[in-house]
Amino acid sequence: MKRALVLASGPRIQYRVLRCTSECFDEVYVLGEDDAHLLKRSRFCERFIPFKGDFSNLQPSDLGDIQRLCSNHDIDLVLPSCSRTTRLLSVHGDQIGAPFYPVPAQDTFDALDDKWRFAGVCAELDLPVPATRRFETMADLRRDLDRLGYPLILKPAAMSGGYGVRKIDSVEELPEHLNYSPIICQEYIPGEELSSFYLCDAGRIVASFAYRRTLTKLEEIRAPEIDDHARRLIEHFRYRGVIGFDIRRSPDGRIAFIECNPRFWYHMEVAMLAGLNFVTLGCRLRDGEGGPADPETLKIRSPRRLCGNLLTPWRLNRAERAYLRYIIRDPAISAWAAFQSAIGRYRLAGGQLL
């Protein structure tokens, strides 16, 4: 009986990690903060254990609780599920008394998870990055209006999931105040949004998955130019674990690295459906086993469009049928997501729902 423990501070990315973990472990326990309570409704959660501490500010007593939990339940592997829990393992992983999923070194994580510091890393390594500036307050930004070009993007330095990101088309659209500081001001790159993720071992890429997402579909892509740039950064840091990049590609083919995600990501279940379960691959990496086979090329229409074809299943491709099975296998979570969609509340990053 193989048991895994997922550290969860919320329900969104964390649910994807739970599902991917359930494919390679017999039982998956979740140690979750209050915001992660939804995960206990999943049929793939063997047991939800409330965590009363703060993953971003772990106390000695909290560490002792995690150690006892791992010992009492014979946990074979502890997994992070977000920025906070990835950093927790980078700092305290050797103290929890159980094997843990590969994560980057603490200083590497801190340099890449901060959007301002990541822009600086790209500049140092000569990677393509939009012009980026940093302001402590909106008042500081307004004092420098003459040097700003439009459109531009305003965003926080360390929040994830697209929170706080705003596109500004003119000076009149600048807000008076923002509820975060510092403020990252970045050149807007028109075109399409791409994402590329990698599993790495000491600076070597073991597996990769890249995709293009629109309002109507998500499809896998091949992007050698992006891979070449990413490889330089990965080798520079001798990176270990999962790392991803949000990228913009303009109509003339110019690419720009927007931000870095040194952790698991929101659409990791789609990679699993293509044959690349990054949890399974990370376990193999820990055990010194070989890399994955080539994944199948994948294209999946949005859930709304898929539901429109339920009465004509022959129009669905293999990946879309697999994605529907993925949704149907966890009815409680799927019903919750449908309910939230129906009432139009609890919107998540990019206008998506769980």
The tally of CA atoms less than 13 A away on the side-chain side of residue 169 is: 1
Asked if 196 and 148 sit in the same domain, the reply is no
**Integer Cα distance of 307 and 342 in angstroms:** 14
Asked if 66 and 138 sit in the same domain, the reply is no
Closest CA to 152 of 113, 192, 106, 184: 184
Number of structural domains the chain divides into = 4
Instruction: State pTM to two decimals.
Output: 0.86
Task: Kindly list the averaged pLDDT for each block of 10 residues, start to end, along the chain of length 354.
Answer: 95 95 96 95 96 93 95 97 96 94 97 95 96 92 85 86 82 87 92 95 94 81 93 97 96 94 93 90 81 53 55 63 82 72 43 41
* Type and span of the H or E element at 31: strand 27-32
- E-strand ranges in 93-175 read 132-135, 152-156, 166-168
Could you tell me if residue 124 is inside a domain?
Answer: no
pLDDT of res. 305 = 54
pLDDT of res. 158 = 80
Radius of gyration of the chain (CA): 20
Mention every residue, 6+ apart, whose C-beta is less than 8 A from residue 60: none
Residue 219 belongs to domain with CATH number: 3.30.470.20
pLDDT of res. 336 = 73
**ω into 99 cis (within 30 of 0):** no
**Integer Cα distance of 61 and 73 in angstroms:** 18
Asked if 246 and 197 sit in the same domain, the reply is yes
Pairing of strands 27-32, 47-50: parallel
Which whole-number Å values give the CA distances from 319 to 18, 190, 274, 276, in the listed order?
20, 30, 7, 13
Residue 172 CB neighbour total at 10 angstroms = 6
**Integer Cα distance of 10 and 263 in angstroms:** 15
Asked if 149 and 216 sit in the same domain, the reply is no
pLDDT of res. 354 = 45
The tally of CA atoms less than 13 A away on the side-chain side of residue 107 is: 2
Pairing of strands 47-50, 77-79: unpaired
Could you tell me if residue 122 is inside a domain?
Answer: no
pLDDT of res. 292 = 56
Residue 16 belongs to domain with CATH number: 3.40.50.20
Enumerate long-range contacts of 208-217, CB under 8 Å, 24 or more apart. 209/271, 209/274, 209/276, 209/278, 209/295, 211/267, 211/270, 211/298, 213/267, 215/302, 216/301, 216/302, 216/305, 217/299, 217/300, 217/301, 217/302, 217/305
Could you tell me if residue 120 is inside a domain?
Answer: no
Asked if 74 and 171 sit in the same domain, the reply is no
CA 177 from chain centre, in angstroms, equals 28
Residue 171 CB neighbour total at 10 angstroms = 10
**Integer Cα distance of 18 and 28 in angstroms:** 7
Could you tell me if residue 351 is inside a domain?
Answer: no
Q: How is residue 144 written in tokens?
A: 């420098």
Could you tell me if residue 106 is inside a domain?
Answer: no
Residue 85 CB neighbour total at 10 angstroms = 27
Angle at 203 between CA 202 and CA 209, to 5 degrees: 115
Asked if 162 and 208 sit in the same domain, the reply is no
**Integer Cα distance of 107 and 96 in angstroms:** 20
- Boundaries of domain holding 323: 302-342
Q: What DSSP letter does each residue of 171-219 carry, written as one string?
A: GGG--S--SSSSEEEEE---SEEEEEEEEEETTEEEEEEEEEE-SSEEE
